[in-house]
Homo-oligomer: A and B are copies of this chain.
Amino acid sequence: MRISELAARTGVPLATVKYYLREELLMPGRATSATQAQYDDAHVRRLGLVRALAGQGLPLDKIKVVVALVEDPGEDLFVALGKAVMALPPYPGSLSGADDSADAEYPRTRALLERLGQLYDPRFTAVAQLERALAALDSAGLTMSDRRIDVYGEHIRGIADLDVDLLPTTSRQETVEAAVLGTALYEPVLAAMRRLAHQHRAARTFSTAADPGSSGCTQPDRHPQETQ
């Protein structure tokens, strides 16, 4: 297809497609004349990847890291996956806080992962990310109980195992691409699903209204009371 058709099919403005070509985020098409080139499904997929990452707020240099890893994952797929996911936000710089120097050893994260018996690479950005999140809990006067660590750990592992099971294994490129997209794009899905599950549960636990309709909850087939 021609570049105008590529833009139309992906919904990415033509000027943006040309910009991605110049920045080498999109690989060149097959030249058919001095001024024209042909594009194919690989370009459609690449545009989908770049747009999804840009939509997550990734800066251009980080998108380049991911694209380079998708193009050439190298020998060890595990290492490529780690590098690609480390290009995703939040970045260590944005995780800074007053007590960062004291937390360089990530004591809270280490204790949590040791309790769960999980392998981890201390250089992985998620380690610093978890430490910051646990420090924020501490300073709000909340501390994660062992029960919460165990239950969260069990369910999160159930989710993560499915994520890895569902990764395509047709090619290393596709695996890295799917891992990056899956990490970035399912995080907001899971956060919203948790809030909705709270509402579902709280509607049954806390509603004091005599009229079940007053909770504002909607469910097509069943009446709120019937699900209790």
Contact = CB atoms under 8 A, between A and B. Distances in A.
Interface residues of A, number: 102
Q: Is the interface of A mostly helix, strand, loop or mixed?
A: helix
A74 to B, nearest CB: 10
Q: How many copies does the complex hold?
A: 2
Contacts of A51: 139-140
A75 B140 contact: no
Interface in A63-121: 75-79, 81-82, 85, 90, 98, 112-114, 117-121
Given A129-B192, A188-B136, A207-B78, A219 B120 contact: yes
Contacts of A121: 199, 215-218
B200 A120 contact: yes
Given A78-B202, A151-B158, 16 more contacts: A11-B139, A76-B206, A77-B206, A78-B215, A81-B202, A114-B220, A118-B197, A119-B204, A124-B199, A126-B195, A136-B185, A147-B166, A152-B189, A152-B190, A159-B197, A164-B201
